[in-house]
Structure 1
Amino acid sequence: MSLPTNWMKNRACRQITIVLVSTVSVIHMITFLPLSKQLERNDHLKGKITHIGFLKVHKCGSATMSNIIFRFGIKNNLTFAIPKKGAYITNTDSLLPVRPTGHYDILIGHSIYSRKLYQYSFGTDSVNIAIVRDPVQRMISAAYYYRDVWAQAYLLRVPESNFIENLVRLPHVYDRAPFSFTRNAMGRDFGFSSSISINDTDKINQHLDMLKKDFKLVLVQERFDESLVLMKRTLNWDIEEILYIKMNANKHKVITLSSDLIKKLQETCFLDFKVYETFSKIFDEKVKAEGPDFVREVEWFQNVLQSVWEFCHTEQVGNIVKIDKSEWNEPFHITQENCSYMKMEAITYLPMLRDRHQKMNN
């Protein structure tokens, strides 16, 4: 997510200003809009893809992605497929129901991918999106996060000295389950069976072939800004709808694995490596197909992001940041209220969405 070295030069070429005004946020959040406003939203949505199944893959930047999609859905008065309680969608019965004439638009809760769940929620006109991450970095991040934040028992049993090395080198001692937060977690979230072994090449490839058909776009966490611009183009969204502030990041010391440990991890987390290699290759092909204009749009997006990040950290009530028109966006502005929603985590917005859902479907 680092900015390009020529960012300052690009920024100097485009005017982005912060001004003090009396303002009302352009986003009316967590409300059920009256019919007149719904019609305005529908007109605004012409051409935009609004039926979205987002597979929230653990420790792959999914919290940030969910926030982006949450804000898009609220802004445009869409209906979320959300669990009745908790954060996990286990099956169709776990979803809050819609009224008989209603339908779901967006799924952003944690779930294990299945065609039955996603087709039940959206029918055949939805676009499925997911995100993957380098398996080595994902495992390291998950190990520290689920040990330090969630106190997972199996991770607490691993000696703190050489924590990651012990976990990788001795999975038969510390990480024996076929799926865990640190073992084939991406494979689990993408719906692979826990009975698949590293030698079941045909079964692995068959499942990957299904996923390639079912997911129109799989983002790559290490190339997050490129991923968002590609998603914007795929869904025909606007730049202001993919702005973000990084969420749920757990700081830990930098760990570099030896080649032997990486080889060992490839054997243990074989599904994660297959998923990542498959979709990162497809992602490369999609980016190349966009042409040189794509690179310039990513640079402009990063330019806008930096201005928004700086503004959102000022927390000065009444200020707005104005983003001028470019070849990729119409002019728009961001308020401190917008910033507050970019910072909102699922633990806060899920209860709000449930309350909103009940009002919309009574």
Structure 2
Amino acid sequence: MPLIYISYLKGRKFKKYWTWLLLIMSAIFIIHFISPSLFTGECQTKQRIISDWSIITVDDDNEFNSNNFSLISDSFLASRRQFMKEEIRHVAFLKVHKTGSSTVTSIIQRFGWARQLNFILPATSPNLFSQNESITTNNILHIDKDETYDILCNHVIYNKQAFQKYLPPDTVYIGIVRDPFDQFVSSVYYYKYRWSVPYLARLPIRYPIKYLLENPNQYEPKNYQNSFTKSRMSVDFGLPEELFHTTDKNKILPYLRKLHSEFKLVMIKEYFDESLILLRRILNWNMKDILYIIKNSSKYVPLRSYRDRYLHKQHSFLDYCLYNFFVRIFWKRVRQQGEDFHAEVSYFRQLRSAVEDFCSEVVKKSALPVQVFEAKENEFHSYIVINKEECVLLSMDEVEFSNKLKWRQFPHLRPMGNQRRHPRKRW
């Protein structure tokens, strides 16, 4: 302040310096006294929400006892319906190969299990109807005639007419896609080293991606539907065979627009949590319904180059058209969500991580006392409670859950005594 006063007294000669000093002092004042009040409100809100999470230790007489959890579920559903619109229970999820679809399937399976919904289930495999056709009378398990199917979420080729034959008219269709090159690389390593698919098993151990892309005619199956590595996402979405042999976008675009008219949402693997929040909002589900635990993450570091990506764009042109089309639609949908969308995504990530940490401890330590995780109602969800039984469900993989659902819907298929469970189908 003395410097400002001296500068002022010296008149016009130091007027420029006096003005700059005033600006600097004003900026310091704003930073120290005004800005904190702008940001602390948001931080305090986040801290308040997070402080509403807690882990409660309960005993046998407590209302949170796992034996009485059905009571919690009933009250939770009742409060949830007051919190938001009626949830949508008729869902068809197109499980696309190597796109993160197993995680989405597990979420949908858990949702249907809690509400005792009827799933369309494969007849001969825990998680696969067919690699090259849609659902048919021969590849599904049939329920009683007086019952209806609610959910479809296992591997199958998309065909709207076939789906409509078994699912209610108000069914919401959901799909998922992934960056085509990443999806291709994941498929090569998965089906070569884990499942030893014949045409991929013939690839050299070193540089399998390079050899496959440089010599596709030598390795790829003649039938495009038998390939896991050539425009496989487009195969799963049921694109017509003639589109796999053209690069004319004017021929491809009409079918992509048709898919857009039939699917309420196509999720994007690279924006998985954003996709789940969109899914939650479209289906009117609670945030608890879309929680997941990360599992089966790949440990390999594939060897690939820019030339590999260039060759792959020629190898799987149709998948790039499919992916780019739905990415544009996805971000248009996000922009329509309003200012709270990204705040909800950020909060969901924190909640999901906290639940995963809780469940990893609870599942490992089976000894008493029993603990539950609770999150109080806030602007993003109604009251949430997670106990050990739900942690076990969160930790289940897709095949385990598919068998669990199958044995509940069709008790006569449950293995008896030491009878071995139905083996997972190999390719």
Q: TM-score, normalised by structure 2?
A: 0.75
Matches within 5 A, 1:296-307: 296-307=343-354
Partner of 1:343: 395
Conserved in 2, the CA contact under 8 Å of 1:83 and 1:96?
yes
User: Any idea what SS the aligned residue of 2:240 has?
Assistant: coil
Partner in structure 2 of residue 120 of structure 1: 165
- The answer for unaligned runs of 5 or more in structure 2 is 1-42, 60-64, 413-427
| Deviation for aligned residue 1:337 | 1.5
C-alpha distance in 2 between matches for 1:25 and 1:163: 52
SS, match of residue 266 in structure 2: strand
Give the secondary structure class of the aligned counterpart of 1:60.
Answer: coil
Equivalent position of 1:134 in the other structure: 179
Deviations 1:253-290 (A, max 9, x none): 144431x3222111111121111111111110101110
- 1:157 aligns with 202
Residue 373 (structure 2) aligns with: 321
Moved more, 341-350 or 199-208: 199-208
Q: Take 1:50 and 1:240, find their aligned partners in 2: how far apart are those partners?
A: 15
Greater mean deviation of Cα atoms: 351-360 or 316-325: 351-360
| Match in the other structure for 2:57 | 20
Among 235, 260, 265, the residue aligned to 1:188: 235
Q: Which residue identity is paired with 2:135?
A: N
Contact 2:99 / 2:176 at 8 angstroms: preserved in 1? yes
The answer as to 2:154 corresponding to 1:109 is: yes
CA distance in structure 2 between the partners assigned to 1:106 and 1:299 by the alignment: 29
C-alpha contact (below 8 Å) 1:132/1:219 kept by paired residues? yes
Shift of 1:105: 0.5
Rounded to whole Å, the distance in 1 between the matches of 2:181 and 2:44 is: 34
Could you say which residue in structure 1 is the equivalent of 2:265?
217
Partner of residue 93 from structure 2, selected from 40, 43, 54:
54
More displaced stretch, 147-156 vs 313-322:
313-322
Give the number of aligned pairs. 344
- What SS does the aligned partner of 2:97 have? coil
User: Which one is further off, 52-61 or 318-327?
Assistant: 318-327
CA deviation string 1:170-199 (max 9, x = no partner): 212222543411111101000013343123
Which position in structure 2 is the counterpart of 1:355? 407
Give the counterpart letter for 1:282 in structure 2.
Answer: I
Q: What is the alpha-carbon distance in structure 1 between the residues aligned to residue 253 and residue 294 of structure 2? A: 33
Residues 319, 336 of structure 1: 8 Å contact kept: yes
Residue 245 of structure 1 and its aligned partner are, at CA, apart by 1.1
Give the C-alpha shift of residue 151 in structure 1.
Answer: 1.1
2:112 to 63, 73, 83: 73
Tell me if the contact between 1:25 and 1:335 (Cα under 8 Å) persists in the aligned partners.
no
Matches of 1:138 and 1:241, distance apart in 2: 26
Aligned residue type for 2:211: N
Shift in alpha-carbon separation, 1:123–1:333, aligned structure 2, 3 A: closer
Which segment is superposed worse, 155-164 or 62-71?
155-164
Report Cα offsets for 1:272-322 as digits up to 9, x if no partner.
Answer: 111111111111010111022000000110110110111111133322222
Deviations 1:124-159 (A, max 9, x none): 211000111001111111111111111112112111
> Per-residue displacement from partner, 1:189-235 (whole Å, max 9, x unpaired)?
00013343123544422221221111000000111111101100000
Mapped pair 1:205 → 2:253: yes
Residue 92 (1) aligns with residue 139 (2): no
Residue 386 (structure 2) pairs with residue 334 (structure 1):
yes
- Does the aligned pair in 2 maintain the 1:41–1:77 contact within 8 Å? no
One-letter identity of the residue aligned with 2:384: F
> SS of the counterpart of 1:356?
helix
**Do the aligned partners of residues 166 and 289 (structure 1) sit closer, same or farther apart at CA in structure 2, a change above 3 Å counting?**
same
- Report if aligned partners of 1:63, 1:248 keep a CA contact under 8 Å in 2: no
Alpha-carbon distance in structure 2 between the residues aligned to 1:26 and 1:138: 43
Q: Which structure dedicates a bigger proportion of its chain to helix?
A: 2
CA distance in 2: counterparts of 1:17 and 1:43, whole angstroms = 19
Instruction: Provide, for residues 34-81 of structure 1, a one-character-per-residue CA deviation record: whole Å limited to 9, x for no partner.
Output: xxx99x979977611111000000011111100000010011121111
The answer (yes or no) to whether the contact 2:93–2:152 under 8 Å persists in 1 is: yes
C-alpha separation between the residues in 2 aligned to 1:255 and 1:237? 40
Contact 1:312–1:339 (Cα < 8 Å) also in 2: yes
Could you tell me which residue of structure 2 aligns to residue 31 of structure 1? none
Once superposed, what is the RMSD of the aligned Cα atoms?
2.6
Contact 1:92 1:120 in 2 (8 A): no
TM-score by length of 1: 0.87
Query: Aligned residue for 1:267?
Result: 314
Q: Read off the aligned partner of 1:211 and give its amino acid letter.
A: L
8 Å CA contact 2:90, 2:168 repeated in 1: no
Whether the 8 Å contact between 1:64 and 1:248 is mirrored in structure 2 is no
Unaligned runs of 5+ in 1: 1-7, 29-36
**Partner secondary structure for residue 313 of structure 1:** helix
Query: How far apart, in 2, do the equivalents of 1:238 and 1:222 lie?
Result: 23
The answer for the alignment partner of 1:226 in structure 2 is 274
Counterparts of 1:320 and 1:171 in 2: how far apart (Å)? Answer: 53
SS at match of 1:333: strand
| Structure-2 separation of matches of 1:216 and 1:133 | 17
Q: Does the CA-based 8 Å contact 2:135-2:162 persist in structure 1?
A: yes
